[in-house]
Amino acid sequence: MHPALSVILFTVTSGAGFGMLALLGLGAALQPHAPTPAAVIAEFAIAFALTVFGLLSSTFHLGRPERAWRAFSQWRSSWLSREGVLSVAAFPAALCLGAALLGLLPPEWIRPSGIATLLLALATLVATGMIYASLRAIPRWSNPWTVPGYVALGLMSGALLLHAFSTAFDAFAGLAAAGDFTGWLALLLMLLGLAVKLGYWWSIDHAAARATIESATGLAGRGPVRQFEAPHTADNYVMQEMGYRIARKHAKKLRRIAVILGFALPVLLVLGSILVPGAAGAAILALLSVPFMLLGLIVERWLFFAEAKHVVTLYYGAAAV
């Protein structure tokens, strides 16, 4: 599959944003008392910025972005439509939660709006994963690891951002480092995310082919079938969009790069931010983990597309997908 930059940026940033909102909701549901108002504003602003940036960048993928509003209509059948509806529904819930934490709404609002934010943000992450997992024509995506992958990586990146910015905020406000809880949470979720991603890679490496050139052409039972001549001399839309081949051969190296940037370095930096004495050092280490993780997730998401083979490539010479 062609890895469109707009879709990679969208899934990475909106995944992190909704992961962050889910954790903010979880925090409020478990512990309904407000942190400092400035921290609330900063954390919600970052989560909103990420989700809005993600949703906007997804519209750059569209041929007719001015009609994007129509995508909210077919939630009965389409996971893409459901993702749109859920993501937009998460905003009022998160706004209520932020307002309640700031004291603009009564404190009784904190727990219900926290639960609503948590559930809607999680549902959005599941819907994003289901868009890919429901495509039977792309066997490497329609497997049981795809949805857990989107949820785990969204929560993981959200937790890391939350840790980085709350630690930085504490240091800036001259507070003693209180980022230990978010740090351990980020560590736990990063290990979970890594486990799910390794599981996904293991699964796509070992999955049996779902379709063959013989079943695609209806010529089974007469020996091997191979492409003799293509129907056209240059690539067409189908080959450009679904037949992406470049750098699949580098998959192993890129996976290592994704693991080092996206998981190993952030784990070490977060561990450092917990162990280092002093709020400023902790904040620097925690903030430093964010660009590495985002870069690692961009490589991971690029691989998610580039490694996924579409069964239509069978018509263009692939033997089995």
Partner 1 sequence: MTSLPPPSPKKLGLVIDLDTCVGCQACAVACKEWNAGGVSAPLPDHDPYGAQPLGLWFNRVHGYEAGEGRRARTVHFPRSCLHCEEPACVTVCPTGASFKRAEDGIVLVDEALCIGCKLCSWACPYGAREYDYDSGTMKKCTLCIDRIYNEAVDERSRIPACVLACPTSARHFGDLGDPASPISQLVAERDGVELMPELGMKPVNRYLPPRPARMGDGAAEPEALAPVVPAEPGRGLLHWIDRVLSR
Interface residues with partner 1 (CB under 8 A) are 1, 61-65, 67-68, 70-74, 76-81, 84, 131, 134-138, 210-211, 213, 215-219, 222-238, 241-242, 246-247, 250, 253-254, 310-312, 315
Residue 271 CB partners (closer than 8 Å, separation 6+): 183, 187
Nearer CB in complex with partner 1: 230/268: 230
Phi, psi angles (nearest 5°) of residue 116: -65, -45
In angstroms, give the least distance from the CB of 231 to partner 1.
4
Report the C-alpha gap between 91 and 181 in whole angstroms: 26
Choose between 67 and 206: whose C-beta lies nearer to partner 1: 67
Residue 210: which of 312, 130, 316 has the closest Cα?
A: 312
State the minimum distance, in angstroms, from the CB of residue 245 to partner 1: 11
Q: Which residues make beta-bridge pairs with 320?
A: 212
CB nearer to partner 1: pick between 176 and 234? 234
Q: How far is Cα 195 from Cα 53, in angstroms, rounded to an integer?
A: 28
| Two structure tokens written together for 105 | 């709404």
Least distance in Å: CB of 159 to partner 1?
30
| CB of 77 or CB of 176, closer to partner 1 | 77
Smallest gap from residue 209 Cβ to partner 1 (A): 10
Tell whether the torsion through CA atoms of 32, 35, 36 and 38 is positive or negative: negative
For residue 171, what is the enclosing H or E element?
helix 146-172
Closer of 75 and 184 to partner 1 (Cβ): 75
Q: Give min distance, CB of 267 to partner 1, in A.
A: 24
